[in-house]
Amino acid sequence: MAIKIGMLCDFFKPGEKPKAVDIFECLELAKDLKVDTVDMDFKRGFTSTDPAYLMSVKRQAIRYGLPIGYVCSALIMGGTDEEAAPRVAQAKKDVDMAVFMGASMTHVYAYGGHQPDGTPEYEKGWAAIARRCREIADYANERGISVGVQNHNSGSWLADEKTVVRLMNDVGRDNFFLHLDTGQWKDSITTQPRGVVKNQADPMVHETYIAKTLKYARHTRAKMYNLASGTEKYIDYRNVARILRAQNFNGVMTIVLDNETIDTISDIDMVRRAVPYLRGCFRQ
């Protein structure tokens, strides 16, 4: 088993939040840190999605020996059909851009229009999300790539292991996977207020969810919140590494920042700490 360490090109300039670091600067940083892959959000650090510009980004990644894991526009699949239609259309454009960039996957969210569980409105909204995800996955399958959906708390339809399993089964496509985020789980210690145990029966519930859903994942996201002490404050990545080893996960773990120390430690400094820290966890 060989876990690849990736980096999401989504950082803020030191002292200039919310101004994102340019994509070419991100690629330079990825090269310096010798990560295995890079992931890209077209809404962060890109000045255009014109083919000539995208080709220049792709050439630079190739020049630096950096495979592109996934690309996205951070699209949400919930809401009414009228609200979702342009997002589904953009998700298909993302598929085309992923093919153009040589990426293997795209990325969507199951956000929008969330209704109370157990109601007819919930079931109607859920069915719509599953239908849209199938449509995008079918479009991607015709073009030879995959689609991933990310688990998330804070109003996402996909916040625990039961909803992950249900969506995987309801979409039912071989090229539809989970983008497993280590921190974005219902009742996790990483949810706000961060650091407070929400589930007394299972204080580290995010590790339980990771273990139960990892078989659906082809890509994982190592959320980093606070590395001021040298180790992540809220997630024990040595335990996460043990979970991944136990299930023979052989994919990518991408570093994604939610930097609560940005006033003292910039995003760039944070990722410089995160790469060797995560590598060390997987060497244990």
228-236 contact pairs (CB < 8 A, 24+): 228/261, 228/264, 228/265, 230/273, 230/277, 231/277, 232/277, 233/195, 234/183, 234/189, 234/190, 234/194, 234/195, 235/182, 235/183, 235/190, 235/206, 236/204, 236/207
pLDDT score of 154: 87
Q: Which of 207, 202, 205, 145 is nearest to 175 (CA)?
A: 145
Q: Check pLDDT > 60 for residue 237.
A: yes
Residue 110 has pLDDT above 70, yes or no: yes
Provide the residue ranges of all domains of the chain, joining segments of one domain with +. Answer: 4-283
Average pLDDT over residues 85-107: 96
> For residue range 151-176, what is the model confidence (pLDDT) as tens digits?
999 889 999 999 999 999 999 999 99
Instruction: Please give the pLDDT value at position 71.
Output: 95
3-state helix, strand, coil in the chain (%, to 5): 40, 20, 40
Question: If you average pLDDT over every residue of the chain, what do you get?
Answer: 95
Decide: pTM greater than 0.85.
yes
Class of domain 4-283: alpha beta
pLDDT number for residue 155? 87
Q: How confident is the model at residue 15 (pLDDT cuts 50, 70, 90)?
A: confident
Q: How far apart are CA 25 and CA 81, in angstroms?
A: 38
